[in-house]
Structure 1
Amino acid sequence: MAEGIAFDLVKGVLGKLGSALWHEIGLLRSFKDDADDLRSNFSTIQAVLLDAEERSSAGKESHALRDWLRKLKDAAYDADDLLDEIRTQATLRQQQYPEVQNQNQPAEKVRGFLSRANPMHLKFKRKMAHRMKELREKIGKIAKQRHDFGLAEAGPGRQAEFKHPETFSVVDKKKVVGRDGDKEKIVKLLLENNSDHDVSVISIVGLGGLGKTTLAQLAFDDGRVTGQQRFDLRVWVCVSTDFHMKTIAKPVISAAEENCALDNSDDVASCLVRIFSQKRFLVVLDDVWNEDQEKWEKLKVLFKDGKKGSKILVTTRSKKVATIMKTVEPHHVKVLSDDDCWTLFKRRAFDEGEENDYLSLLEIGKQIARKCGGVPLAANALGSMMRFKSRTEDAWSAIRDSEIWRLEEEGTILPSLKLSYIQMPSALKQCFAYCSIFPKDYAINKDDLIRQWIALGFISLHETWTSMEDIGNEFFNDLVWMSFLQDVEENYRKVTTCRMHDLVHDLAQSVAREEVAVIVGEESTWIPEGCRYVSIYSHFTPQVSITVMRRLRALQFMGSGSHIMAFYSEAKCLRLLDLQGSEISMLPSSIGKLKLLRYLDLSETRIQELPESITSLCNLQTLNLSGCCEIRTLPKSLGRLANLRILDLRDCQSLTIPDSISNLQNLYALNLSSCEKVISLAPICHLKNLHYLNLSGLNSLVTLPESIGNLQNLRILNVSECYHLLSLPSSSSDLQHLEKLDISGCKKLCELPKMIQKLTKLKELLNSDCLELKGMPRGIGKLVSLRELSLFVIGKQDCVEHCASISELKHLKLVGKLEIKGLENVTSPVDTKAANLIEKNLRYLKLQWNILSAEEGMDTVLPAEEIDTVLENLRPHQKLENLKIEGYAGGKFPSWMMNRIGPCLPNLVQIELMNMPRCSSLPSLGQLPFLKKLIIRNMPAITNLGIDKFPALTSLELSSMPMLREWVTVLTVDDKKGRRERVSIFPCLTFLRLYECPQLRPEPCLPPSVESLAIYRTSKENLSLILECATVDSVTPLVDGDAISLQLPKKGLRHVMIRECQQLICLPESLRGLTSLQWLTIWDCKDLERIEDWLGELTELQSFEISGCSSLRYLPAHKMTALKKLSIFECPLLFNAAGQFVDTSVDHIEFVRVNLRKYKYKKQVSSSP
C-alpha cells in the first residue's frame, strides 16, 4: 500500500525471486538475465527504502520522493503479479504432466514445463518475456533515481525510530473534562494497601490521545496522594521508547536529592536500590512502549525493597505492556462523551463567552466535535484549528464535511496515532492499512481477516512458526494490544470480531491512500486509478476502468450480486474475492480464469452448486461456503485444489462431500459443523496436514473412525453437540499434537479414551454437559499442559479401577471454569486435600454431590462425620468469582466459608447454594464486598438470613425454603456522632425472586432499592403480606431522645411477577399501592377469577401479561388506559364458544398478543410472540 509499506512489498518480491521454484523457472534462457537484473535492482532499492519510508511517515518527503515511492510500489506490484503468473503456469503444467512431479526427476524435465511445443504455451512464454523486459527497464530507471533524494543506505534489519515528545507531571486541572470517575479509581488504587506484594504496579491503558498521561497527572497531584506523608518519594519518569535504567535513574536521583554519577551501570543500580529501600514510593512510568519482558525483569529488581504500599503507575497504549509488567487489573481509559468533547472543542475554538456571538456556528461546531470520536486530543486539536478559521458557516461546514485524516498537517489526532503506527514492523503496517477496506464501525471477523492477510501475501512463513495462521494471530493480537483494533467480542473465551475506532480507521485510510477504495450506499462509485483493493457495500455498479480492473488484488462485494459477474471478469490479478451475503445463486464457469485467486468467500449466499472449473484455481487457499443452505454437492474433482488450506462448510445442511476431499493434502482447517448429510468421515482421515477439524452438531455421528488417529498434526478437534456420540476411539489418544478437544454437549458420551494421558500437549478439554460421563480416565493428572477442564467426574466404586481419583487434579495448573461432579463417590477426604484447588487460578467452581432427595439424604461412600471434611479440603483459589455448591449433605459449612469467607474469597461475585438438607445456618456472606448475585435453593433447615450487610448485592433468589421466616432488611446503627440511624442491609438489591417460601416476611419492609419482584408458589396471605412490605414508604422514625432517622432511598417496584399462587381468586389489595409499577406478569394462577378495576389506577403500568389462568373471566382492559402491551395466553374463559376473544375494548393498546393468534385492533402491532 502506501506509507511504510513498500519495504515489505519489495522484500516479498525478492523472496519470490530467490525461491527454489523460481530458480528452476529462471534457468530458462529467455528469463534468466532479466530475472537476475530484476533481483539486483530490487536489492539496491531495498537498501535505501527504509530511509525513504521514514521520511514519508514523518511527512518530510518531497512530492518527487512521494512520486518515486508510488512508482516503485506500482512496479513491485507488477513484478509480483508477473512472478505469480509464471509460478501458476508452472503449477498448471505440472498438473498437466504429473510424471514430472517427482522431485527426483532430472532438471531438464522441470525446465520442460515451460518449453514444450504447445502453441498456447509459446504465446504465454513470449508474453511473459515481453513483460519481464518492460519491467526490467522500469525498475532500472527507478533504481537510478534513488540517487536524486540523498537516501541513506541501511540493512534490512533497521527499524524506524521516532522521538516521542516528553511529558510532564503538571496539568491544568480546570481544563480536564470527563475524567472524574477515572481519577477517583486511580487514586483509590494508589491509596490501597491490601496487596500481597510490597510494590504494586498499576497500568492505565488506552489509545493514543485519550488522556492517559493527563489522568496519571491528576492522580499524581491529588491532595490525598501528596498529603499526609502518604509516600516518602514521588517521581515522574517520561519513558517513551527509552526503557533503560539510566532513563529512570536521572529523575529519581534528582527527586531524592542524591548525588550519583550515571556513567557506571552498577553504581547507578546500587544508588537506585539504596534510594528505594525501606521507602514507600510512587513512581510514574509514563508512555511505556517496551514489550521486552527481560528488560522489565531486570528493572524490577531495583524496586523490590520498597515498603508495603509502594506503587508504580504505568501509562501505555499496549495491553501487552500491562501484562508483561504484571499489573493489577489495567484501567482502560474510555472515550469521552459528545458533550465533553464539545466542551473541550469550544474552549479552544472561542474565547470565554465568545461563542454566544456566533450562534449559527454552534450546531456545526457540535457536529465537528462529534467527529473527534471521544478522543480529547482530537477535540483540542480541532478546536485549536477552528480558532483561526473564518467565523462563517461555509468555512465551518467545509471542515465538518471533511475526513479528519485530511487535516493531518493542521495538527489533528493523526500525528499522535502515527507514533504507534511508525513503531510497527513493515509487515504489520501492511496488515493494518488493509483494514481500511472495511467501512467504519464494521464488525471485522478475526479469522476471515487473518486469512485475507495470508491470501494477499502480507504474511510469510518463518522458521520459528509452524503456520501462517499462527503468525496472523500474533499480528492480530499486536494490533489489539496497540488499541488499533478494539471492541473485541469473544465467544467461549476466543476472540471472534473486532472494530476500528473511527480515528484509527482514518489513519488506516491515510496510509493506504488511493490503493484502497470503500464504496458504501449511494456514495460516489468512482474508483481511482491507483486502487488495488476495493470493497463495495452498495447495489450500484462502480465506475472502473479496465486498467484498474486488471490491477485489482482484492474485491469485497456485499451488494445484490446481479452485476458482479461482469464486474470481476477482467480482474485477472485478483487474489481475494469476497461475495459473502450477496444475492448470487450461481457462479459462472469463468471463475476458473482467475488463476491467481487465493481466497473465495461465498458464505451466506444462495449458491446451489459450484462449476467444475473452480478446481482449476490451483492457488486457492480459502474456500468459504458456510451458511450456503441450498448447496448440495461439490465438484467431484475437488481434490485438484492442491493448495487449499481452509475449507469452511458449516451449516451446509444438504451438502454431501466427495471422496476426492482426501486428496487435499495441504488442508489446514476443515469445518463441517451441522453438515447433517455427512455420512462417512473416512476420507477426512487421510488429511495428514489437518490442524483444525470441526464436526460439531453432527447428530448422526455415533462414533469417530479409528483412522482419526492418522491426523497426526491435528491441534483442535471439535465434536461438541454431537448428541448421539457414544464414545471416542482409542486411536484419538494418538493425536500427539492435539491442544484442544471440545466434546461439550455430547450428552450420551459415556467415557473418554483410556490412554488420554498420551495427549501431552492438550491444553483445553471442554466437556461440559456430558451428562452420561461415568468418570475420568486414570492418568488424566499427567496432562501437564492442561489449563482448561470444564468437568471432572468422580466415578463410582464399581468402576474405580478405570476411573481417576480427584487427587489426580493435584498437578494440573487449571484456570477458568471447573465443575466437579460425583463428590459422593469420594472414598477418602485425603484425596480432596490432594486435589489442591487452592492453587488453581479458577474463576468459576461448581462442587456437586448427586443428591437423591433432601429427605432421603445422600448416597455416599463416606461416613457422615467425614463429609464435612471433604468440603473443608476443597477450598478454592482466592481469585474465585463464581461459586456453586449443590447437594452437600454435611451439617455445617467449612471454615473458609463461615467467618473467614471475606479474606478467603474476597473476589466472589456470585454464589449458588442448592440442595443442602442438613445445613441450618448460612455463611457470613455479608463479608463479601463484591457479591452481586446470591441464589439459595432447597435448604429446608434454614430459618433466618442473618443480619449481615450486603453492600453490592443486586440479585437475590430464595427458593424451596419452607422454614425460612426471619428476613431483616433494615438495621439500626450508631453513626459517627453517636446518633442512631436506620440503614438498609441490601442497599443495591434490584431483583428479588421468592419461590416456595411460605413463611417468609421481610422486616420491616422489602429493601427499598428492589425494582423487580417475582413470587412463586405461595399462599394468598403470604403474597399479600409481601406486597404490603413493598408499599412501605419509609422506615418508622425513631423518637427516643435526640436520635434521628434517615429515610431510605426508595425507587419503587417496577416489575412484579406472580406465579402458581393457588387459592388466589383476586389480586391482593396491597398491589394497589405499587404506584411505580410498569410491568405486571401473572402465570398459572388457576383459581384467579377476576382482575379488579382498580388496576387501572396504576397509571405507570405499561405491560400486562397473563397466562395459564384457567378460571379468569374478567379483565378490565378498558380501565388500563396507560397500557402499551397486553399479552394473554391460555385463559379459556376470556373467549367465547367460537374461540374469539370476548373483550374488544383494547383498541387503545399499542401491542396486543392473544394466544399466538392474530387479532386486529385499531392500534395492534402484532399477535405473535
Structure 2
Amino acid sequence: MELGNFCDRAPASGPAAGLLILPHFFLHACPANFFWEPYFGNSKVFDLPFPFRTGCNFCRVEQTWLGSKDCSKKILLILDDVWIDIDKKWEPFYNCLKNGRCGSKILVTTRNELVARMMNSNDSIPVGQLPYEENWLLFEKIAFFKRPPNDYKNLEEIGSEIVRKCKGLPLATVTIGSLLRFKGSKEQWQHVLDSELWKLENVQKGLLTPLMLSYNDLPPMVKQCFIYCSIFLKDYEYMSKNQLIDFWMAQGYLGLEKNGENKEIIGKEYFDHLMTRSLLQENKPCSYKMHDIVHDFAQFLGNNECLSVEVHGVEDPITNSSHDKVRHLMLTVDGVGPSFPESTYRLKWLRIEKLVNLRRLQFETFDRALLYMPKRVEKLTGLRRLSEFVIPGGGDHDNKACSFEGLENLNRLEGSLTVRGLGNLTDVSDGKLTNVFKNKEKLDRLHLEFYKSEEEERLGEDDELILKTLQLPPNLENLLISRYRGNTVPSTNWMTLTKLEVLTLRACSNCKHLHHLGNLPFLELLDLTAMSSVKKVDDDFWGVESETSSSSSLCVHFPKLTHFNFWDTREWEEWDCKVEEFMPCLAILSIVRCPKLKALPDGLLQRATLKQLDFSESPILTERYNKETGEDWPKISHIPYIEIDGISVQDEQ
C-alpha cells in the first residue's frame, strides 16, 4: 500500500483555526474514489486522534474502523494537531492502514516539527503568518456576520487595526472576531483594540488552550527558558541563539541537570525545543523573533517578572505599578544624554546592590562611547562573559576606573573579549601585565586594540613591549590585533598558542616584519589588512631567511594555513617566496586594494591545493593575469575558481 504522508506544520499557536476551512475544502475537492470521513481533534489530550478515547490503541481502532470500510476506495485520513513524536506508537497504526487502497493519503497538521520529520514526509509545508488581506477576509466573515451595512462602515477602521494587532495569526483573528461578533458599539470595539489580549476573558480562553499545549509539551527546564525570552522587547527581530544561551546560562537554567555536559550544548538543545514547536521563529539568518501573541503568553506565564524598557530622554520609563514583580530587567539606554532611571531602585525584587554573582556583563556601544571600566569591576570574580574592557586615557577617568591589571582577577571569563585602549597604558616596564591573560583558560577569542585617547603620537616601542609582556590565553583560537604601532610583532611567546586557528592584523601601520608566525602549528586563516608600511614581502619579512642555512630549512612554514587575505596595503610592491615548504595547504588567496603590487609568487600559484584566487582594485595584477590578454594568465589558468575585480572569470568547481 502506498501512503503519501502529507505533513502540514502549522504556526506556533496551532492549526485550530484551520478546522473552519479543512472540512469544507475536502468535501468539495476530494476525488470521488476516495473514502471520506473526517476525524478531527487534539491528539495531545487523548494521545489519539479525537474520537478514539483513552484506553484504545491505534491498532484496535483501525481494525474496527478502517477494517469495516469499503477497501475498494482510497482512504483520506486527516489527523489534526498531532503531538505524538514516538516512532513505536505510530508503527502499529501504520500497519493497520494497509487495508486501504494504493494511493491513500494522510494529511497531518502539527506544531511540532519532530512529528513531520518522524513521518518522513517529502511534502512538508511550513505555514507562515497570514498576509493582512487574507487575515482581514477571515476576520470580516466572522466579526461582520449578518451585520447591517451601517455597522460595517462604522467599525471597519477599528476592525482593521484589530486585525493588524493579530499579526497574521489566524487563531487570534478567529478568537477576537468571535468575541466582537456580538459587540455592536464602536466603544466596545475600541475597548478590545486598546486592551491587552490576556485581560479579555474570552480571548484568553481561546488563545490559552492551544498555546498551553505547546508549553506543556516542553521539558521542565525548557519552560523556564521560554518564559525568560519575554525579557526582549515585543517585535524585537534580532534575537541571537548564542545571546539567548548566554542569558539562560547566567540564570542557571542550564546547570541543574546533565552534570558534566557542556552547558552550551544543553542550551542549543533547549533552543531547538522552542524552534521545533514554533515558539521561536527564524527571522533572518542567525536571528530569531517571537510572535507578539507568543510574547504576551510568555509574560502571562511569568507573571510579568521579565521587563524590557528603552530610555530615550530624561523621562522615567518605569512608572507602571504592574512592574512591582519584575525580577529580570533589560534596560536599553539610547545615546549619551539619558541617565540610569532612578525608578529601577524601587523594583524591590530586582537585586542590583550586590553583584558578586554576576555572570554576564555586556556593553553594546558604538564609536567608543564607553570611556572606562568602573572601579571594583575586578571584584566580579564570577563573571563568565565580558564583552569589552576599556583602559582609560587619563583625565578624571583614572580616579574612577578599574586598572588593566585588575582584569587579572577575572579568570573565569570564557568566549570572546575585546580590550580597547592599550595605547593608553603608561607603565609597562615592570612586568605587571604578564599575568593579565595567563590563567584565562576558557577565553578562546581575543581582540587587542591599541587605541590611544589623546591625539599625540605614541612610541611604537611601548606597543612592542606590551605585546611582548602579555602572556596570551593558552587556549586562544582567534586573535585580532588592531592599531598596533610596533615595527614587528614579537611573536616568540606565541609559540605556546597551539590552538590558534585565526589571526588578524588590522591597521598596524608601522609593522614591517612578521617573524615566526609561520611556526604557529594550527593556524588556518591569516588576515593582514592596512599594513601601510609594508613594501616588500619576502623570506625576511616572515623571518625565515636566516634559517635556510641550517637544518631548519626543512621546516614547514604555515603548515595548516588554508586561507590567506592581504588587503588595503597600498605601498606593497614586491612579493617573493623562495622557501619551498611555505603554505603547503593554501586553498584560498585574496588580494584587495594593493595597487602597486606587481606580481604573485609563482611558487604559491603552482600549489595543487589552491582552489580559489581573487584580487580586486589592484590594476597591475588585473592586467598581468587578464584571461584574454594577460602575459601570466597561463600561470593561474589551472585554478578552479578565479575572480577579478568582483567578476568571476573562471568557475570549474
Provide TM-score, normalisation by structure 1. Answer: 0.39
Distance 1:219 1:213 in 2: 10
User: 1:355-374 residue pairs with structure 2 within 5 A?
Assistant: 356-357=150-151, 359-374=153-168
**1:550–1:429 CA distance, 2 compared to 1 (3 A):** closer
Question: Structure 2: which amino acid aligns with 1:343?
Answer: L
- What SS does the corresponding residue of 1:388 show, helix, strand or coil? coil
Distance 2:566 2:103 in 1: 47
Shift of 1:424: 1.9
Question: Structure 2: which amino acid aligns with 1:257?
Answer: G
The counterpart of 2:297, out of the listed 487, 493, 507, is 507
Question: Structure 2: which amino acid aligns with 1:719?
Answer: L
Distance 2:581 2:119 in 1: 41
Is the 1:607–1:628 contact (alpha carbons within 8 Å) kept by the matching residues of 2? no
CA deviations over 1:801-821 (Å, ceiling 9, x no partner): x96x56xxxxxxxxxxxx933
Distance 1:309 1:428 in 2: 40
2:451 corresponds to 1:687: no
**1:645–1:571 CA distance, 2 compared to 1 (3 A):** farther
2:232 corresponds to 1:448: no
Name the structure 2 match of 1:640: 409
**1:598–1:309 CA distance, 2 compared to 1 (3 A):** same
**1:674–1:212 CA distance, 2 compared to 1 (3 A):** farther
Distance 1:885 1:219 in 2: 57
- What SS does the corresponding residue of 2:283 show, helix, strand or coil? strand
**1:286–1:210 CA distance, 2 compared to 1 (3 A):** closer
Is the 1:286–1:316 contact (alpha carbons within 8 Å) kept by the matching residues of 2? yes
Name the structure 2 match of 1:599: 360
CA deviations over 1:491-547 (Å, ceiling 9, x no partner): xxxx2x322211111101111224234445xxxxxxxxxxxxxxx66642356799x
User: 1:509-908 residue pairs with structure 2 within 5 A?
Assistant: 509-519=299-309, 539-541=314-316, 552=327, 554=329, 556-559=331-334, 563-564=339-340, 594-604=355-365, 606-625=369-388, 634-645=403-414, 648-649=417-418, 658-662=433-437, 665=440, 667-668=442-443, 670-672=445-447, 687-688=473-474, 690=475, 693-695=478-480, 705=491, 710=496, 717-719=501-503, 729-733=518-522, 743=526, 756=560, 767=563, 820-821=611-612, 853-854=627-628, 859=634
Distance 1:622 1:465 in 2: 20
**1:381–1:617 CA distance, 2 compared to 1 (3 A):** same
Shift of 1:243: 8.3
Name the structure 1 match of 2:597: none
The counterpart of 2:270, out of the listed 469, 475, 478, is 475
Is the 1:199–1:306 contact (alpha carbons within 8 Å) kept by the matching residues of 2? no
- What SS does the corresponding residue of 2:269 show, helix, strand or coil? helix
**1:551–1:307 CA distance, 2 compared to 1 (3 A):** closer
**1:198–1:371 CA distance, 2 compared to 1 (3 A):** closer
What are the ranges of 5 or more consecutive residues in structure 1 without an aligned counterpart? 1-196, 260-274, 521-535, 578-590, 736-740, 757-764, 781-788, 807-818, 824-849, 872-883, 888-911, 920-1169
Is the 2:63–2:96 contact (alpha carbons within 8 Å) kept by the matching residues of 1? no
Shift of 1:425: 2.4
CA deviations over 1:958-1008 (Å, ceiling 9, x no partner): xxxxxxxxxxxxxxxxxxxxxxxxxxxxxxxxxxxxxxxxxxxxxxxxxxx
Q: Quick check: 346-355 or 647-656, which moved more?
A: 647-656
Name the structure 2 match of 1:207: 12
- What SS does the corresponding residue of 1:636 show, helix, strand or coil? helix
CA deviations over 1:110-145 (Å, ceiling 9, x no partner): xxxxxxxxxxxxxxxxxxxxxxxxxxxxxxxxxxxx
Distance 1:569 1:695 in 2: 39
Is the 1:637–1:660 contact (alpha carbons within 8 Å) kept by the matching residues of 2? no
2:216 corresponds to 1:426: no
CA deviations over 1:437-481 (Å, ceiling 9, x no partner): 222112334433332222222221654664333322332333233
CA RMSD of aligned residues (A): 5.8
Name the structure 1 match of 2:230: 436
Distance 1:636 1:298 in 2: 67
Shift of 1:386: 1.7
- What SS does the corresponding residue of 2:437 show, helix, strand or coil? helix
Greater relative contact order (CA < 8 Å, ≥ 6 in sequence): 2
Name the structure 1 match of 2:128: 334
CA deviations over 1:928-977 (Å, ceiling 9, x no partner): xxxxxxxxxxxxxxxxxxxxxxxxxxxxxxxxxxxxxxxxxxxxxxxxxx
Shift of 1:226: 3.1
Distance 2:266 2:20 in 1: 35
Name the structure 1 match of 2:83: 289
The counterpart of 2:188, out of the listed 388, 395, 398, is 395
2:141 corresponds to 1:347: yes
User: 1:81-92 residue pairs with structure 2 within 5 A?
Assistant: none
Name the structure 2 match of 1:221: 26
Shift of 1:608: 1.5
Distance 1:361 1:317 in 2: 34
What are the ranges of 5 or more consecutive residues in structure 2 without an aligned counterpart? 50-55, 453-462, 509-513, 531-536, 543-554, 568-574, 591-599, 615-623
Distance 2:115 2:582 in 1: 39
Shift of 1:375: 0.9
Question: Structure 2: which amino acid aligns with 1:695?
Answer: L
Distance 1:755 1:222 in 2: 68
User: 1:402-413 residue pairs with structure 2 within 5 A?
Assistant: 402-407=195-200, 409-410=202-203, 411-413=205-207
The counterpart of 1:383, out of the listed 167, 177, 180, is 177
Is the 2:518–2:558 contact (alpha carbons within 8 Å) kept by the matching residues of 1? no
Distance 2:339 2:636 in 1: 72
Shift of 1:742: 5.5
- What SS does the corresponding residue of 1:649 show, helix, strand or coil? strand
- What SS does the corresponding residue of 1:672 show, helix, strand or coil? strand
Shift of 1:199: 6.3
- What SS does the corresponding residue of 1:439 show, helix, strand or coil? coil
Aligned residues: percent identity? 25
Distance 2:144 2:272 in 1: 42
**1:404–1:597 CA distance, 2 compared to 1 (3 A):** same
The counterpart of 2:280, out of the listed 472, 479, 485, is 485
Shift of 1:355: 5.1
Equivalent residue pairs, number:
555
Shift of 1:776: 10
Is the 1:621–1:644 contact (alpha carbons within 8 Å) kept by the matching residues of 2? yes
**1:638–1:247 CA distance, 2 compared to 1 (3 A):** same
Distance 1:641 1:360 in 2: 64
**1:615–1:860 CA distance, 2 compared to 1 (3 A):** closer
- What SS does the corresponding residue of 2:303 show, helix, strand or coil? helix
User: 1:1055-1066 residue pairs with structure 2 within 5 A?
Assistant: none
Distance 2:274 2:220 in 1: 13
Shift of 1:352: 2.5
Shift of 1:337: 2.8
**1:212–1:661 CA distance, 2 compared to 1 (3 A):** farther
Provide TM-score, normalisation by structure 2. Answer: 0.65
Is the 2:130–2:169 contact (alpha carbons within 8 Å) kept by the matching residues of 1? yes
CA deviations over 1:175-212 (Å, ceiling 9, x no partner): xxxxxxxxxxxxxxxxxxxxxx9967655353224668
Distance 1:280 1:857 in 2: 69
